[in-house]
A and B are shown apart, each in its own frame.
Chain A
């Protein structure tokens, strides 16, 4: 492990992958090592293709993929140090979580006893300790995701790749999975998490890679990117009974440069500094004594971020 510290765990050099005429990944170069990295991109951006290239499921049409310095297409040895959570929803529904995880642990060459102990440990880690002897078929979606994560962690890997781990989970499972991912990052492991929801990634990590149409769009700290976004005109949508009364309270605030009433019972606030606007928001609402049922950030999503990034470059 120590000798690998010099080279990053994941290296992609000018990797392209196309399926017939369709481009999956287009000339992507990346080096990732240590901590949690969010792979962000809308559906079809090439996130899963990227992961499948990393896991040796697909052969790059061009360029080279290296995991710990080894090409995963021809050599399975890096998998000893990698945990992979695929996007597939299917599991062996007839198995218990304990069975499933320990069986897969044995594929790492563990004995039955070792595998059982490790399975129990990781299922405890993802919060499924109490239900681990129940059949997976009876699990909720969030529990199933956590089983998948548990199997990826069973051999204590250095690199963990999670393809949409939060997909379809309820808020409680989401929080618990996010905690697990953050915990892994803080243990010094390299974690790759993909998502098409900015907010999810934001809660996990600052380090992101943005993919769009198979291209690497941005790479770096989320907040640096976010700051760029903040300087862009931004909207906050407030649903309230008295939009005009609230509008008059907002119009005097510094970050707000305009208000609009797009429809009955709604107030749209326009700002150039989203974080500043958010910081004054609670105070203004409380002081105006107007009841507010909902606050939305229609521009605070991946699409508008991408739109801005594409427009800006």
Chain B
């Protein structure tokens, strides 16, 4: 008896299965044979391709890093950027002065009133004005400076004009030296290298020192001084911590004036939301750098594409073109007679027709989502080759889209059944309503009127999944808000609303899925009961 019962139920099941298979298959083949199906699917592919093109374009543009403090500039074109010159204490405005270049070290000077006013030695003389009696002159030495008046000994032998040099000569013309007959040079504000005795007239000055040995310093690429991520309060490139750069009062390496040099201060409001990030000069140029904008734009693209392109556009247009006539067209064409003269309940028939429709649209959207997911996860920002954390979000988008396609499909099919003639207008009006409610859900997530739409719950699913998969999205949003960065992340994403006060995204996810399934099942049941009592001419 039990065995027989099992056998019976088995046959019932397999027969049901065969009927479902036959109608589903017929529906798929039927839709595949209609041009309008291919048109709407093609338009969908076009839309997504266009979005992808925009994405690729914006990813390229946003990845131009920005140098906020200007220390990647190389003003003197010596190949060492400002940041590196600051670390070595060299000048970025002097071609001859660069990290590792030979440097002048001060030894002594004769100032305006100093005594004695003569000095003998083998030095590099700087800005010397007086009588220099050489024992040896380094005629080959090239100027280590660009701004001191370095003597070019090639024009030696210029005779001094008549009269007393420092009384009668009103000005000294270049070259800034001349030779007296006794072999002594008169120098005026001149710099040179050599051994000898200098005698400085009262009221004038001269300085001397030596040049250090030059050494080779690897030139840093400019990019080293652009991105100092991540925000951690450390002067990653070291151009703030350089001691020599500090002055005693109003030290530039404490520009946020919190008493700590070279740090980053995060400022929160009483709710714990980040309001602003203040960094000392030359420390951390974040967050408006490539990583932040890149990551933020990438997430915005995925969330926006999921909500608008998949849920609100494809989710509405696919059922409008493919589900509205699922049963209505059969009835109008007279082909329904063939199907209904078979031992199949009308309710079953509706269900299997919808299954066939879902067979096409679900495989289509899943394929599209997979392609977009693959491309964006490969070229998107981040260190890893593939952004694996994107995939759960794409799965959430696929779930939301499938549920939306199911819900709208069952609604439109039922409307087409009830109003064969005017159903399409009702569905278009309803589609506009759904689209507007979707937009409202994105802009004003707390509004309660939007709860009356299917798109609201689909968007909730995406919001919830984003929160689960990218838990730092709130932080990224706060940073974007704190710095007024227009990446759109704050527009396109809000934490899910319907969490029963728990703030748990899983709660919102489950609630949304249950509501959308209930809408679909309810609409299918209504369609079934109407169809069951409909007389077919």
Are chains A and B native binding partners rather than an unrelated pairing? yes
Cβ contact within 8 Å between A106 and B335: no
- Shortest beta-carbon distance, A31 to chain B, in Å? 22
Tell me if A59 is interfacial: C-beta within 8 Å of chain B.
Answer: yes
Min CB–CB distance B13 → chain A (angstroms): 10
Task: Check B338 against A106 for contact (C-beta < 8 Å).
Answer: no
A54-85, CB < 8 A from B: 55, 57-59, 76-77, 79-80, 82-84
Given contacts A52-B536, A92-B30, is CB(A86)–CB(B337) below 8 Å? yes
When distances are taken between beta carbons in the complex, the residues of chain A under 8 Å from B21 are: 106
Which residue in B19, B333, B536 is a CB contact (below 8 Å) of A107? B19
**A residues less than 8 Å from B335 (CB atoms):** 88, 90-92
Task: Give A89 to B337 CA distance when docked, in angstroms.
Answer: 11
Q: Which of A94, A148, A152 contacts B33 (CB 8 A)?
A: A94
Separation in Å of the A97 CB from the closest CB of chain B?
Answer: 13
- Quick check: is B250 within 8 A (CB to CB) of the other chain? no
> What residues of chain B lie closer than 8 Å to A203, measured between beta carbons?
none
A151 interface hit (Cβ, 8 Å): yes
Contact (Cβ within 8 A) B338 A109: no
- Residues of A close to B345: CB separation below 8 A: 76
B371 at the binding interface (Cβ < 8 Å): no
- Taking a contact as CB atoms closer than 8 A, the residue among A57, A88, A90 that contacts B535 in the complex is A57
Residues of B within 8 A of A58 (CB): 535-537
Q: Is the interface of A mostly helix, strand, loop or mixed?
A: loop
Q: Does A108 sit at the interface, judged by CB under 8 A?
A: yes
Cα–Cα distance between A55 and B341 once the two chains are bound (Å): 7
Interface pair A107/B334, CB less than 8 Å apart: no
B6 on the A face (CB < 8 A): no
Note all chain B residues with C-beta closer than 8 A to A57: 337, 340, 535-537
- Complex Cα distance A77/B345, Å? 9
Residues on B with C-beta less than 8 A from A110 are 18
The proximity string for B residues 432-469 relative to A, scoring 1 for CB distances below 8 Å and 0 otherwise, is 00000000000000000000000000000000000000
- Could you say which residues of chain B place their CB within 8 Å of the CB of A91? 335, 338
Residue picked from A86, A103, A104, A109, most chain B C-beta under 10 Å? A109
Tell me whether B514 is interfacial, beta carbon within 8 Å.
Answer: no
Cβ contacts under 8 Å, A83 to chain B: 341
Contact assessment for A89 and B334 in the assembled complex, using a CB-CB cutoff below 8 Å: yes
B344 close to A (CB within 8 Å): yes
Q: Does B537 lie within 8 Å of A109, measured CB to CB?
A: no
Contact of B19 with A109 in the complex, beta carbons under 8 Å: yes
Q: B211 near A: Cβ within 8 Å?
A: no
Q: How far is the CA of A94 from the CA of B16 in the complex (A)?
A: 26
Given A57-B535, A109-B15, answer yes or no on A88-B337 (Cβ-Cβ < 8 Å): yes
Q: How far is it, in angstroms, between the C-alpha of A104 and the C-alpha of B342 when the chains are bound?
A: 8
B344 neighbours in A (Cβ, 8 Å): 76, 79, 107
Q: Which residues, 17 to 76 on A, are CB-close (under 8 Å) to B?
A: 52, 55, 57-59, 76
A90/B334 contact (C-beta < 8 A), A109-B15, A109-B18, A109-B19 known: yes
**Are B343 and A107 within 8 A (Cβ)?**
yes
- The answer to whether B338 touches A104, judged by C-beta atoms less than 8 angstroms apart, is yes
B429 CB–A CB distance under 8 Å: no
Residues of B within 8 A of A82 (CB): 341
B141 at interface (Cβ–Cβ under 8 A)? no
Residue of A nearest to B337 (CB): A86
| Contacting residue for A59 out of B23, B26, B337, B535, CB 8 A | B535
Given contacts A88-B337, A94-B33, A111-B18, contact A103 B26 (CB under 8 A): yes
Q: Which residues of A contact B158 (CB under 8 A)?
A: none
B267 on interface, CB distance cutoff 8 Å: no
Asked whether, in the complex, the Cβ of A76 is within 8 Å of the Cβ of B535, the reply is no
B109 within 8 A of A: no
For A106, the chain B residues whose CB sits under 8 A away are 18-19, 21-22
Q: How far is the CB of A260 from chain B (nearest CB, A)?
A: 46
Encode B22-47 as 1/0 by CB contact (under 8 A) with A.
Answer: 11011001100100000000000000
Closest to B23 in A: A107
The interface residues of chain A lying within 8 Å CB-to-CB of B343 are: 76-77, 79-80, 107-109
Q: Could you give, for residues 326-368 of chain B, a 1 whenever the CB lies within 8 Å of some chain A CB and a 0 otherwise?
A: 0000000111011111111110000000000000000000000
B339→A104 contact, CB < 8 A: yes
Per-residue interface assignment for chain A, residues 234 to 253, with 1 indicating a CB less than 8 Å from any chain B CB and 0 otherwise:
00000000000000000000
CB-defined contacts of B33 to chain A, threshold 8 Å: 94
Q: How far is the CB of B352 from chain A (nearest CB, A)?
A: 10
Q: 18 new A-B pairs (CB below 8 Å) besides A106-B22, A148-B338?
A: A55-B340, A55-B341, A76-B345, A79-B342, A79-B343, A84-B337, A84-B341, A86-B334, A86-B337, A88-B334, A90-B333, A103-B25, A107-B339, A107-B342, A108-B342, A109-B16, A109-B18, A110-B18
The 8 closest A-B pairs by CB, nearest first: A88-B334, A109-B15, A106-B22, A107-B342, A86-B337, A84-B341, A79-B343, A57-B536
| 25 A/B residue pairs, CB under 8 Å, sorted by A | A52-B537, A55-B340, A55-B341, A57-B536, A76-B344, A76-B346, A79-B341, A79-B344, A86-B337, A86-B341, A94-B29, A103-B22, A103-B26, A104-B338, A107-B23, A107-B339, A107-B342, A107-B343, A107-B344, A108-B342, A109-B14, A109-B16, A109-B18, A110-B18, A151-B338
